[in-house]
Structure 1
Amino acid sequence: MPHRMNVKHTGLRVTLAVCLGLASTMGGTLAWAARNLPGIGDPGNVTVSGISSGAAMAVQYAVAHSQSVSGVGAIAGPGWGCAQGRVSQAINTCMCVRETPAATLPMAQQFASSGAIDRLMSGKPQSLSRAFVFHSPDDATVQAASGDAGIAFLRDFIGQAPTVDRGNATDGSNHAGHGILSPDGSDSCAASPRDSSYVRHCGQEDNARDALHALFPQRPTDASQRIAQIPEGDLQPFDQTPFIDEVTAASPYIAPDTLWLSFWPYRSDRRDRLDMATTGYLYVPPSCRAAGARCGVHVALHGCKQDVKTFARTTGYIHWAEHFRVIVVYPAVQQGDNPVSESCSAGTVPSLADAAWIQPNPNGCWDWWGYLDGADRTRYLTRAAPQMQVIERIVRALTRSH
């Protein structure tokens, strides 16, 4: 049985209101949405952050689009390009640090010179100038040495050191487990077998607040500016399918992820959607809803095994969006049906896994090691990466002119 294509292309010839599933709000409190959303996002004020695989994707996106992204945040993520297209290296080196991650700046510079990512000016990005990194010393999933490699890369690529937070002893966040820290977190601060959301409660530690402050330093944080309760209806679902379809209609190679009759590789319906979910979420704070408002756009990317709606409601971005005058959009990967343990105690992953006929993604991670790629196992780092193309189209829809 051949690889299934099953590509449907409707194009992007629909209004942003329809694309984002907001047309139904016309009679409610968000009646502004369908009429005024196009052009609300400021194309000169786009930032991105994420947790774990979402942190890796956030950095990949910012590096590939360094002419249009001004800031990036990485929470509990590995360094840029660490996996170099190999799942064995992603686990053995980038997560478990069984060997020291190699410097990847020369690869980024080579990509920029070739045009695979945005070109640099005098060796530095034209827009990307700010970065934030949180990495707990006790993170046992993506160990601290991998986070250190990410810090070094961002410092050298951007040309100035990122704002770095390693937690503190006052609230125990220096011993936090793998995840993003939020006052609304449901998981304990330290890692536990009962972890489910990977949104951790460590007192008032607030990674989203600190990331946004680092990326928007002109708006000093004030604890009183955190909106405690966000109405359920203000977090809006949107349909990712038109954006996915536009990418897949170009017929890029997409690696198979499963077997037919236990021996022939093919692509599941999920893989035909680039492992992405059909639904993402969007939050537009009150001050950004008025006609003529121009707010920043922040792309917040969940991590492996995380439900995107839970991530959106509990991580804190929406509670600070009004203060920082930023629209927050949550693209999503579909979660896997049979997640596997990410414990480094499971042992070394053999290099044979890199040459396997299928490239599964059981934990619903963003593509930070090239699981969608074929012979070119570096595509996932470039503007040609399929998932990054989807994110780019979502951002473009939010920032396009009337």
Structure 2
Amino acid sequence: MVTSSPAHAAPPLQSYKIDPDQISVSGLSSGGYMAVQMQVAYASRIMGAGVLAAGPYLCADGNVLYATTRCLNSGVSFLPSPDYFQELTEELSDAGRIDPTADMAGDRVWLFSGGADDVVLTPVVDRLRAFYESFVDAGNVVYLRGQIPEAQHAMITDDYGKPCGFEGGAYINDCDFDAAGALLKHIYGALQPPVEAPAAHLKLFDQSVFSGTDSLAAEGFIYVPSDCESGNALCRLHVAFHGCRQNRNVLGDEYARHAGYNEWAEANDVVVLYPQTESATVNECWDWWGYTDAGVEYNYATRSGLQMAAVRALIGRVAGEPQSSYCGADSNAAHAAAGRAYTQIGWWFWTYYYASGSDYYLGALGSTSTMLKERRPGYWEPVLSCP
């Protein structure tokens, strides 16, 4: 069990030699929705996704009622057509709030729906497949639809967890099928067989510098293979999102240790990042319906979303990207062009400006000069002066 205490705070997140073209994501349930959001919003950076038991991008439409009905297991017949989600995505892309949708074309996508899953029904995952087929080359999308008839709502493994048809507990079930290995092989191609994952290679890190009040926990997990730790290899990076009720507060390190990723990671030089939600969030879920939004439509699913920007900053640190410490004055339009701010069309088609990450309202004029300071990667606030 990986532990820390206030007297022994988790160490800072380190950087490694990461191939920038080999960064991918995956997740179960709310983590699956989060993986979809990350892959779509950062399509120029994320090259693949593995999704278990989740629906299309913007499925909840920023509405908790939709999140708990049509996107799970009731009212599924009221899900909008694939065209609806495609058009919403294109609108956000055209507004510059997510990366160009064309960047998804060559991505690798692996989808799974258990035959007995009664939490997220198969028609919801069907709609996710239809969504991806609007943007991703058809041959790059693999969908395992009900191929394990007894599989319930869980992370599916070949040798760990509750019986395959069990619902609850840690939501990790032994179905004699290695979902983590299957999705990693589809995303990255041929891989070496899994090997033992040394317990000490799974580490805690200080997540607080990236999360602030963004509903992320103070600490996260990262698995670092031997050759990635030593710097002897150019490594891949995979971000694995836990589902609801699976964060460290509930399971300790059980999900990070037993979901099935680390053995493949050790054999194939894949650093695995396990971001963690805060215990105060709704059922420890990732935000895929807007509970972190400050009244800004769809913000939770864009590059300016609080959790989105925080996880993107984690990726940047692990990949060794230059860390900005910007503080300066410029026009709102210039801030938006540089990604420090974003826009939203409001009443009478006015363009409103907001600081990225913090969502502070900056005004309705692009020519207005505002001084912004980057408090942490991806999070800007207006200030009166710069040091």
**Residues in 1 aligned to 2:279 and 2:172: alpha-carbon distance in whole angstroms:** 16
Q: Is 1:378 aligned with 2:322? A: no
Query: What residue number does 2:92 align with?
Result: 111
What TM-score, normalized by structure 2, do the two folds share? 0.74
Q: Structure 1 residues 232 and 323 mapped into 2: Cα distance closer, same or farther (>3 Å)?
A: closer
Q: Give the alignment of 1:40-119 within 5 angstroms.
A: 40-98=17-75, 99-102=77-80, 103=82, 104-119=85-100
Q: Is 1:214 aligned with 2:192? A: no
Q: Match for 2:98: what amino acid?
A: I
Q: Is 1:178 aligned with 2:153? A: yes
**Residues in 1 aligned to 2:47 and 2:268: alpha-carbon distance in whole angstroms:** 15
**Residues in 2 aligned to 1:191 and 1:377: alpha-carbon distance in whole angstroms:** 37
**Residues in 1 aligned to 2:106 and 2:33: alpha-carbon distance in whole angstroms:** 16
**Residues in 2 aligned to 1:165 and 1:392: alpha-carbon distance in whole angstroms:** 28
**Residues in 1 aligned to 2:106 and 2:71: alpha-carbon distance in whole angstroms:** 24
**Contact residue 293 and residue 299 of structure 2 kept, 8 A:** yes
Q: Give the alignment of 1:315-394 within 5 angstroms.
A: 315-336=259-280, 361-394=281-314
| Deviations 1:46-72, CA, capped at 9 Å, x for gaps | 100001000000000000000011001
**Contact residue 105 and residue 136 of structure 2 kept, 8 A:** no
**Contact residue 133 and residue 165 of structure 1 kept, 8 A:** yes
- Superposition RMSD in Å: 1.9
Query: What residue number does 1:201 align with?
Result: 174
**Contact residue 113 and residue 145 of structure 2 kept, 8 A:** yes
Query: What residue number does 2:215 align with?
Result: 275
The equivalent position to 2:122 in structure 1, one of 130, 140, 144, is 144
Q: Match for 2:186: what amino acid?
A: A
**Contact residue 41 and residue 296 of structure 1 kept, 8 A:** yes
Three-state SS of the structure 1 residue aligned to 2:153 is: coil
How far is 1:305 from its partner?
Answer: 0.6
Three-state SS of the structure 2 residue aligned to 1:157 is: coil
Q: Is 1:397 aligned with 2:317? A: yes
Task: Return the structure number with greater relative CO, CA threshold 8 A, min gap 6.
Answer: 1
**Residues in 1 aligned to 2:15 and 2:216: alpha-carbon distance in whole angstroms:** 24
Q: Is 1:242 aligned with 2:209? A: yes
Q: Structure 1 residues 46 and 146 mapped into 2: Cα distance closer, same or farther (>3 Å)?
A: same
**Residues in 1 aligned to 2:99 and 2:230: alpha-carbon distance in whole angstroms:** 33
**Residues in 2 aligned to 1:147 and 1:216: alpha-carbon distance in whole angstroms:** 22
**Residues in 2 aligned to 1:305 and 1:184: alpha-carbon distance in whole angstroms:** 21
Query: What residue number does 1:260 align with?
Result: none
**Contact residue 237 and residue 279 of structure 1 kept, 8 A:** yes
Three-state SS of the structure 2 residue aligned to 1:196 is: coil
How far is 1:374 from its partner?
Answer: 2.9
Q: Match for 2:30: what amino acid?
A: S
How far is 1:175 from its partner?
Answer: 1.8
Q: Is 1:291 aligned with 2:264? A: no
The aligned length equals 304
Higher strand share goes to which structure?
2
Q: Match for 2:29: what amino acid?
A: S
How far is 1:377 from its partner?
Answer: 3.2
Q: Is 1:226 aligned with 2:199? A: no
Query: What residue number does 1:263 align with?
Result: none
How far is 1:108 from its partner?
Answer: 0.7
**Contact residue 197 and residue 266 of structure 2 kept, 8 A:** no
How far is 1:226 from its partner?
Answer: 1.6
**Contact residue 46 and residue 71 of structure 1 kept, 8 A:** yes
| Deviations 1:145-177, CA, capped at 9 Å, x for gaps | 101001111111223251111353xxxx32211
**Residues in 2 aligned to 1:329 and 1:291: alpha-carbon distance in whole angstroms:** 17
How far is 1:319 from its partner?
Answer: 1.0
Three-state SS of the structure 1 residue aligned to 2:20 is: strand
Three-state SS of the structure 2 residue aligned to 1:19 is: coil
Q: Match for 2:214: what amino acid?
A: L
Query: What residue number does 1:354 align with?
Result: none
**Contact residue 50 and residue 109 of structure 2 kept, 8 A:** yes
**Contact residue 67 and residue 128 of structure 1 kept, 8 A:** no
Runs (5+) with no aligned partner, structure 1: 1-16, 21-36, 246-272, 337-360
**Contact residue 105 and residue 135 of structure 2 kept, 8 A:** no
Runs (5+) with no aligned partner, structure 2: 1-9, 323-387
**Residues in 2 aligned to 1:18 and 1:315: alpha-carbon distance in whole angstroms:** 23
**Residues in 2 aligned to 1:300 and 1:232: alpha-carbon distance in whole angstroms:** 18
How far is 1:375 from its partner?
Answer: 2.1
How far is 1:335 from its partner?
Answer: 3.2
